A and B are shown apart, each in its own frame.
Chain A
Amino acid sequence: MADIAFLLLTFFLMTTTVASDKGLMIQLPPPPEALPPETDIEIPERNLFKIQVNSFDKLLVEGEPWTASYRELTDDIKAFILNNGVDPKSSDNPQEAIVSFKTDRGTTHKAFIDVLDAIQASYHEIYAERAGVTVERWREIASDPNADQLTRQQYDKGRGVLPNGLPEIPMALSIAEPTKVGG
């Protein structure tokens, strides 16, 4: 009996994998062809938080080389989003604030994920604090906002709902087409 069970166990160990469907979720913009041509909307400099990564995986944040940790980058983005016009160099309000993230074609995926993680961390921490839940719980809520009524309420509380139905603090992350400077 044990022999047969061991044989089956070995078979399943060899042929199956542990499902790992975890990752960073983003929504891509509509296709380049579908966008209206020549819509150069002027976004004031103060409402943009620019992060650039070159082909050596070095960061340029708001025009300055970045040497601090990703944790500090998260804190900087949070301060930028929640500025509400206090600092004249930072954003007007959370609805206008856009985090712009540009890489090079030679940037590695690791650097891309590290920066994307830092950006998403700042938004998730803001949402979680507003909803009064932990960041882990917030990510579960955001993964399935319509799971039940309480989840939906917490989701709306975290993001905030304006009278026109749009979120008060939208996750405005713009991932630009990579540059072709260095390979």
Chain B
Amino acid sequence: MSRFKKKANTKQDIPTSSMPDVVFMLLFFFMVTTKMRETNINVEQHMPQATQLRTLAKKSLISYLYIGAPKKTDQFGTEPKIQANDVFIEPKGVIQWVNSEKAKLDEVDRDAITISLKVDVDSKRGLIADVETELRRANARKLLYSANQKIDR
């Protein structure tokens, strides 16, 4: 009978002494792999998918332009807009924006500036082509159409 009354000699609580170590490890992981959000993106951003993706070796040369329908449709309408550094700009303002972005770089790197166009999938080519023409005039002719890796189904 005593065999059945015997109580198992086990503890139920999980040891938590190593939890800070684990959490710090996660913290450092995220600190290294992510970067600070500099702008609030005010346009819809659904990236297209592609297979032939390339990256740029020098990340500091990239400047971003966001194109898509505004998130606040009641305030800005539904037509796709161009966002550069927290403000909406017209295609005409692109040259000025490029020049201010170039001024941030070292003099030797200015002609190697790469514009990353983060364009929403539903934006139309008309607006993007207008931006491209202005970028040609601004002599910022290296373009990167931002896209995600296509997952084969």
A: which residues have CB within 8 A of B? 1-2, 5-6, 8-9, 12-13, 15-33, 103-110, 112-114, 116-117, 120-121, 124, 135, 139, 142-144, 147, 177-178, 180
Identify which of B6-14, B17-25, B81-89, B99-107 touches chain A: B17-25
B43 part of interface (Cβ distance < 8 Å):
no
State whether A29 touches B136 (Cβ < 8 A).
Answer: yes
Cβ–Cβ contact B133 & A25, under 8 A: no
B residues sitting closer than 8 Å to A (CB atoms) are 16, 19-20, 23-24, 26-27, 30-31, 33-37, 48-57, 59, 62, 114, 116-117, 119-126, 128-129, 132-133, 135-137, 139, 141-150
A30-B129 in contact (CB<8A): no
Determine the chain A residues whose CB is within 8 A of the CB of B36 once the complex forms: 15-16
**Does more than half of chain B's interface fall in helix, strand or loop, or is it mixed?**
mixed
CB < 8 Å neighbour of A23 from B30, B54, B125, B128: B54
Residue of A nearest to B137 (CB): A31
Q: Are A143 and B56 in contact (CB under 8 A)?
A: yes
- Whether the Cβ atoms of B35 and A2 lie closer than 8 Å is no
Complex contacts, A15 vs chain B, CB 8 Å: 36-37
- The answer on a CB contact under 8 Å between B55 and A21 is yes
Distance between B119 CB and nearest chain A CB, rounded to angstroms: 5
Chain B: minimal CB distance from A10 (Å): 9
A21 with B126: CB separation less than 8 A: no
Residues of chain B within 8 A of A103, CB atoms compared: 125, 129
Q: Are B124 and A105 in contact (CB under 8 A)?
A: yes
Of the candidates A24, A28, A116, A121, which one forms a contact with B136 in the assembled complex, judged by CB atoms under 8 Å apart? A28
Main secondary structure of the interface of A (DSSP, over half): mixed
Question: Which residue of chain B is the closest to A30 with respect to CB atoms?
Answer: B136
Given contacts A23-B146, A27-B143, contact A114 B48 (CB under 8 A): yes
Complex interface: chain B residues within 8 A of A180 (CB): 126
- Is A20 in contact with B148, judged by CB distance below 8 angstroms? yes
Beta-carbon contact of A12 and B54 below 8 Å: no
A153 to B62, CA, bound (A): 27
A64 CB to nearest B CB, Å: 22
Given A21-B59, A30-B141, CB of A139 within 8 Å of CB of B52: yes
Instruction: Please state if B23 and A6 are interface contacts (CB–CB under 8 Å).
Output: yes
In the complex, what residues of B have CB within 8 A of residue A18's CB?
33-34
Q: Given that A109-B121, A178-B125, A178-B129 are known contacts, is A9 also in contact with B55, CB under 8 Å in the complex?
A: no
Contact A1 B20 (CB under 8 A): yes
Q: Which residues of B contact A107 (CB under 8 A)?
A: 124-125
Q: How far is the CA of A23 from the CA of B124 in the complex (A)?
A: 18
